[in-house]
Each structure stands twice: as C-alpha cells, then as structure tokens.
Structure 1
Amino acid sequence: MATPPRVLACGLATVDVVQAVERMPGANEKVVALGTRVEAGGPALNAAVTAALLGMPCRLVTGVGASPLGAVVRHDCAEHGVELVDVAGQGFELPVSTVLVTASSGERAVASRNAAGASGWALPARGDLEELLGGVSAVLVDGHHLPVARVVAAAAREHGIPVVADAGSWKPGLDGLLGDVDVLVASADLRPPSGGGLDELLALGPTWVARSAGADPVRWLAADGSSGTVDVPVVDVVDTLGAGDVLHGALLAEVGRHGMRDLPVALARAVGVAARSVTVAGVRGWATA
C-alpha cells in the first residue's frame, strides 16, 4: 500500500501569551484583561497544525530547544498529529510572543523577538534531508530560521517538490531563499528593498506570487503573465490572530493534495478557510466551530 502524501512546514514556533482587552492601553497605562490564553503559535507551527486539521499529515521543522516552555509546543504538535523535528542549537531560547486582542474588533497587536539572532542550527545533512522529505508532496517556509529554511527549500527544489513561502515581512537574506520558492504569498506589510510590486517579487524567483490585504481581495500574478484576484468572504470578525498562518497552512494542504495545477482555485479555498478562522476566538477554533 502506498504511503499517503504529507506536507512539511519549516520555520518559526513560539509560545503565545494572548490577552483579550476592551481597548489597547496607552503609554504608562494598565488595563485589566478580559481573558488570557497561553498557547503554541508562530507562522510555521500554525500552518502545520492548519494542514493537519484539514486532513493532511504534516511534519514541522523548527527550533524548540530545552526550555520548559517547549512543552507547550510539543504538546500542541502531538495533540494535532504534527511530527516535530527540532533543529535548535545549544542554548536556543524559544520565542515568546505577547498578543493583545481587542474584543470589539478582533484586531491584534503582537510583540515578539521571533528568534532574532538565533544561531548554531542543527542543519540536516544530505542523508537526513532525504529522510525529512520522504513522502512529502509540498513544503512551506515562513522566512524565519533562514539557514535551515534555505537548506530545506533547496533540497525540495532538487526533488521537484513545490515550495510555498509565507512572507509576512522582509528579512535580511529572504531574497536568497526566494530563489528556491515556487509560490509566494506575501502580506500587505512586505516591503522588499526594490519596492514591492508583484512583478518585482516575481523577479526574485517564484513562478507565482500573491499578496493578501486583510479584507480586500488577494491579488496574484504568474510568470506566464496571467493575473487575477480572489475575493475575501465578508464575515463577522471576532479574532484576527493567526489568520495569515491559517491561509498559508490551508494553501500548503491544497498544494500538497493537488500540486500547482490550479493555484487560483487553491488560493480561493485557502482564503475561505482563513475567513472562517477569524469568526471565532483562537487560531484553532474554526476547526470545531
């Protein structure tokens, strides 16, 4: 019996401290939270869990390390059937994100170091990469942990495995990673040094690029000159935290199942999942709502 395909996400995992508030505090002001959650997060981890919730087995390559907080990440991955591969070097500190969600609008504010300055990665050797990519039908990289992401993306390209990139913001060295990316979905905040139009992002290496813009349509452009938009469903917003991560995880699952035959359709399905995700509290709530 053939082994069912799986997908792989490579990038950032965090522990998120999420507080719901009536309004954002000003300078030197304290507010009382309406509720608090401590949960695993980060773009690659959230994407991996999203793919798993959509029925696509997923492997997550990230840094966790020996911190007691790592138990939060390990438990979340185990609970959702995500296979965890820890490539943290000695002394790695798992990033903690502080998140404030405004109850009335669902908008969020986030403070995090995102593992900035981390080094000493346990980069997989060629034999390990063969095992890591075994049975994998699509890979996602989120622009974090770049030394690891570049090795994984290059190996995926050698094996003919589609690589999807989540680009929320520009990071030094990201242009080198994009040379091994097939599909790039950028946020409205992404501003590369060249300016940031879709055509300029396409010139960095991907064959298909798209840019999300909150509730506005998602624009896309392909290397063959075709272009278009995907409308975002109108929904009642409760919590926007992780909506972009859900979008990328859903797109990863679509590419893992169907390849890159019809990326506009895959993107539209992923946008639909992301829209559902903002109608309930928490990054995972959409799956049981």
Structure 2
Amino acid sequence: MTGSGLFVGLATMDVVQLVDRLPARNEKTTGLETWLAAGGPAAVAAVAFAALGGRARLWTALGQAPAARLAAADLAGAGVEVIDVAPPGFELAVSTVFVDAASGERAVVSGSGHTAAFGKIAGADLTGIDVVLVDGHHPALARSAALAAGEVPVVVDAGSHKPVFDEIFPFSTDVICSADYVHPDWLGARTLLLRGPRLVAVSHGGRALHWWTAAASGSIEPDTVTAVDTTGAGDVLHGAYCHALATGLDRVDALRSAVAIASERVRHLGPFAWRAAISHSH
C-alpha cells in the first residue's frame, strides 16, 4: 500500500549555500557548495512523501517566471504532481538558505514573492486521497482542502501561526507544531485539542518530540545522529508522518516513524540528497 497525499501550501525556489560561518555585516564570504532546489513547507513534505513511495500531489502557486520553471522541474523529478493555480503575473518567492558547515544548522532568508490573489478556485479534489497536509501559506487553498476533507485525515503544519488556522483547526485531525509556534491567544497543546484535532505534537529539532491526545500524552526521542544539514527536517517529518498515516499506522507509531526519518534526513548534505536514503531505509 503506497498511500496518496494532497499537500496544500507553499512552494519556493531556494538558493542554498554551505558556508564556514555566516558573514558579518559588510563582509563577503565564499560558499563551499551551492544548490538550487525547490523548497517550501508543503513542497518538501510532498517530496518526502513521494520518496517513501507515496503518490504526492502538491496544490500550490508556481506561475511561469524563470524561478517557477526551475522549481517545477525539481518537483517533477522528485515524483511530485503539481496542481498550479497561480494567478496571472504571480512571482514565485526565492529564498536564501545558509547551512553552517560545522554544525549543520541553517539560517533562512524567506523570499518575499507575491501573495497569491486567487480568484474563484475550484474546490479541492480529494478523489483517492488518503491524507491532506496544509501549511496555511495560501489560506484560500488551505480552507478549501480542509472543508472538503470529510473523513480524510487533515494534518496542519504549524511552523508559525497563520490566521486561517483558527478556521481549519475544527476540521483538522492532527496538528504538528514547531517549538517556535505561538498561538496569538497563547493556547497550549491541550487547549488546541479542544478545537478539534485528535493529536497535537510539538517538535524540538534534535530533542524529544512531545505529543498529546485526548486520552494520553508522551514523548519520542530521536536517534542520536551527527547532523550535517538540518534544512527542511521539519518538513520531512511532516511528509513522513502523512505517509505513515496514509499507509495505516496509528498516530503514535506514525510519529515514531516520522521522527526516525527526519533524523535520517539531517545526516545528508544538500536539499534532496536524503531522498534515496529514506527510500532505502523505509
């Protein structure tokens, strides 16, 4: 059973530079390596889902600018089907990522791009879909997918709060927060559970992930690994969690599987060098 997932949200074009250290003010530095790769929370989660053998569909805005064509080719090469609903003139965001060669930690300058001003959009097509992930970056798409999901699990990638989350929490089944996530009303994990999700989890990078359901709570320790590149590790976690749900694992076992796969991701340098490794390890 491969599973099929719909990933709804942001795609970007990323310029990734491996550096000895971040440059100081008014200083130039030379990158040790440079990559151009498709990025964005929903996009990278879809790539991870596909690498694990799932059928990944990405509902996003790409457009026709040169950066968008590069991103589209990258996603196609990763086995992700893209449903591009960018309005005319849409400019894909280009982000810059610096990876510290010593620690594997990354610093990100998010691209500004253009906010997609969608006109009337067709409702989300969930035919044959086993799981939906939304990152909230394109609210109209997130809202449409969550409302159409019915019995299909809806996973919310809560890296940072988006206003649309308060509309879709009642229709979501799983909310995975970053350690930096702060709800404007200071709602904690247990309070978020009262809004509708069956599971709320908070990831902490290389430290334990904590989870809560209505009946239980717990934590999952990641494997001890030497991290060489943490870029997109949280997005890989989300894609792996979606794949585990889509293929029949229960929620806690799905989290355990996803944490292990995210730990494998950080052992590999470069935007997509981890794809083969997680495919072989699964």
Tell me the residue number matched to 1:249.
239
Tell me the residue number matched to 1:54.
52
Match of 2:167 among 152, 172, 176: 176
TM-score (norm 2): 0.93
SS at match of 2:71: helix
What's the CA shift for 1:122?
A: 5.3
Tell me the residue number matched to 2:227.
237
Tell me the residue number matched to 2:280.
none
* 2:181 aligned with 1:190: yes
SS at match of 1:59: strand
Tell me the residue number matched to 1:164.
155
Tell me the residue number matched to 2:9.
11
Structure 2: distance between partners of 1:19 and 1:230: 31
Contact 2:91/2:114 (8 A) holds in 1:
no
Match of 1:111 among 90, 103, 109: 109
Contact 1:87/1:122 (8 A) holds in 2:
no
Contact 2:3/2:243 (8 A) holds in 1:
no
Aligned residues: 277
> Percent sequence identity over matched residues?
44
> Runs of at least 4 residues of structure 1 off by over 6 A?
none
Q: 1:240 to 1:201 in 2, by over 3 A?
A: same
What's the CA shift for 1:5?
A: 4.1
Match of 1:149 among 135, 142, 148: 142
- 1:1-289 alignment to 2 at 5 Å? 5-113=3-111, 115=113, 117-121=115-119, 123-125=121-123, 129=124, 132-156=125-149, 158=150, 160-222=151-213, 224-258=214-248, 262-289=250-277
Q: 1:134 to 1:199 in 2, by over 3 A?
A: same
CA RMSD across the alignment: 1.7
C-alpha distance after superposition, 1:218-259 (max 9, x if no partner): 10011x23111111111001000000010000011111111x
Structure 2: distance between partners of 1:229 and 1:247: 15
SS at match of 1:285: coil
Contact 2:51/2:276 (8 A) holds in 1:
no
TM-score (norm 1): 0.91
Q: 1:39 to 1:122 in 2, by over 3 A?
A: farther
Q: Which amino acid aligns with 1:264?
A: V
What's the CA shift for 1:113?
A: 3.8
Contact 2:50/2:78 (8 A) holds in 1:
yes
What's the CA shift for 1:137?
A: 0.7
Q: 1:206 to 1:107 in 2, by over 3 A?
A: same
Q: Which amino acid aligns with 2:129?
A: V
Q: Which amino acid aligns with 1:7?
A: G
Structure 1: distance between partners of 2:240 and 2:82: 19
Q: Which amino acid aligns with 1:49?
A: V
Q: 1:114 to 1:199 in 2, by over 3 A?
A: farther
C-alpha distance after superposition, 1:135-159 (max 9, x if no partner): 1111111121011111011101x3x
Contact 1:40/1:72 (8 A) holds in 2:
yes
Q: Which amino acid aligns with 2:215?
A: G
C-alpha distance after superposition, 1:31-88 (max 9, x if no partner): 1111111111111111111101100111110100111211112112221221110011
Structure 1 runs not aligned, ≥5 long: none
Structure 2 runs not aligned, ≥5 long: 278-282
C-alpha distance after superposition, 1:182-219 (max 9, x if no partner): 00100001000122421132233312100001111110
